[in-house]
Amino acid sequence: MEYQKLGSSDVSVSRITFGSWAAGGWMWGGTEQNDAVGAIHASYDLGVTSIDTAPVYGMGLSEQIVGEAIKSLPRDKVQVLTKFGMRWDLAKGDFAMKTKDNEGQDIDVYKYAGRDSIIKECEDSLRRLGTDYIDLYQQHWPDVTTRIDETMEAVQRLIEQGKVRAAGVSNYSVAQMEEAEKTLNLASNQLPYSMLRRDIEKNVVPYCQQHGKGILVYSPLQLGLLTGKMKPGQHFDASDLRSTNRLFKPEAVQKVNDFLNKIRPLAETKNVTLGQLVLRWTLAQPGITVALVGARNPNQATQNAKTMDMQLSFEEVDFINKQLAGLQLG
């Protein structure tokens, strides 16, 4: 495994980080807690020491699962990354979405990062996680109803109290990062990024490189599409966010699979899966610090962690890039 510090903070993370969005079941069609705990333990055994979660993943369930998993692990050897600013229990802030909880009940989720709300969220997260500090505390989404300096002042207070080691943001633009930096020192920005979604390369990546900020990317396998296991017309339950995602329309899946078949021989020569090859390519991209990868069971977690057992040469990355250049999804 490879490890890297986040910005100028003293938080060092594993470059493959366990993403526990799916473990919470929310928008992924449910989860099995024992499998999720086993997946975290399997990851840890292979050097994946960092776990990313959020309160809104399963309305607290994901954090509870992470808390259960880290009970038997040495706390100082594990990095817990969680978030704030998505409230389902408070009709306040910037309305985000209508969704369902894990019991199928309709709920509204709001983006809200007011001072008192953050303090409450932190206490709730610490309780669910069964710990007294959070290694990286990230604002989940920008909240247009709250001044950024108010939000960051609250996080700074939590750092001073020893409840948070480092501050991060998620889904922030360069302008928003610049505004946040007036109040505190950001360690990182967490953003969507994959072979099929590379818009952050324009502005955010250069800014983070120039200012020494870590970049944690989520959905590097594009919700499983880049594993090569998806078939055109594959059915997803209504509770699964892939059921309405344009990249999962049959014609898009076919085009992506055609591209993956072009790089499949490279994966075979290295005796790795397509997913592992895609993850290694992701971590080879300039400025990318961490790839967040989910796993529902120990087998998936093991495969993700073993990505780091291989290397890609410059020529191999260039070969993949050339095949990728021919992929037109419209």
Residues tagged active-site: 57
Q: Which of 302, 276, 310 is nearest to 46 (CA)?
A: 302
In angstroms and rounded to an integer, the radius of gyration of the C-alpha atoms of the chain is 19
* Cross-strand bridge partners of residue 167: 137, 186
Tens digits of residue pLDDT in 111-123: 999 999 999 999 9
Provide the pairing of β-strand 16-19 with 12-14.
Answer: unpaired
Write b or e for each residue in 31-56: b if 16 or more Cβ atoms lie within 10 A of its Cβ, otherwise e.
beeebbbbbbebbbebbbbbbbbbbb
pTM of the model: 0.91
Which of 57, 65, 78, 75 has its CA nearest to residue 34?
Answer: 65
CB 287 within 8 A of CB 19: no
The answer for residues whose C-beta is within 8 angstroms of residue 251's C-beta and 6 or more apart is 232
Exposed, middle or buried by CB within 10 Å (0-12, 13-18, 19+), for 116? exposed
Query: Rounded to the nearest 5°, which phi and psi values hold at 288?
Result: -85, 120
> Rounded to whole angstroms, how far apart are CA atoms 296 and 242?
16
pLDDT score of 174: 98
Handedness of CA 40, 41, 46, 47 (dihedral sign): positive
pLDDT digits (tens, 9 = 90+) for 167-205: 999 999 999 999 999 999 999 999 999 999 999 999 999
272, 262 contact by CB (below 8 A): no
Sequence-distant (≥ 6) Cβ neighbours of residue 93 within 8 angstroms: 87, 110, 111, 112, 113, 114, 143, 145, 146
Rounded to whole angstroms, how far apart are CA atoms 252 and 275?
A: 18
How big is the chain, counted in residues?
330
The CATH code of domain 3-224+275-311 reads 3.20.20.100
* CB contact set of 12 (below 8 Å; sequence gap of 6+): 3, 4, 5, 6, 79
Per-residue pLDDT of the chain (330 residues; tens, 9 = 90+): 999 999 999 999 999 999 987 665 544 444 456 688 889 999 999 999 999 999 998 888 889 999 999 999 999 999 999 999 998 888 888 888 887 776 777 888 899 999 999 999 999 999 999 999 999 999 999 999 999 999 999 999 999 999 999 999 999 999 999 999 999 999 999 999 999 999 999 999 999 999 999 999 999 999 889 998 888 877 777 767 787 788 888 888 899 999 999 999 999 999 999 999 999 999 999 999 999 998 888 998 999 999 999 999 999 999 999 999 988 876
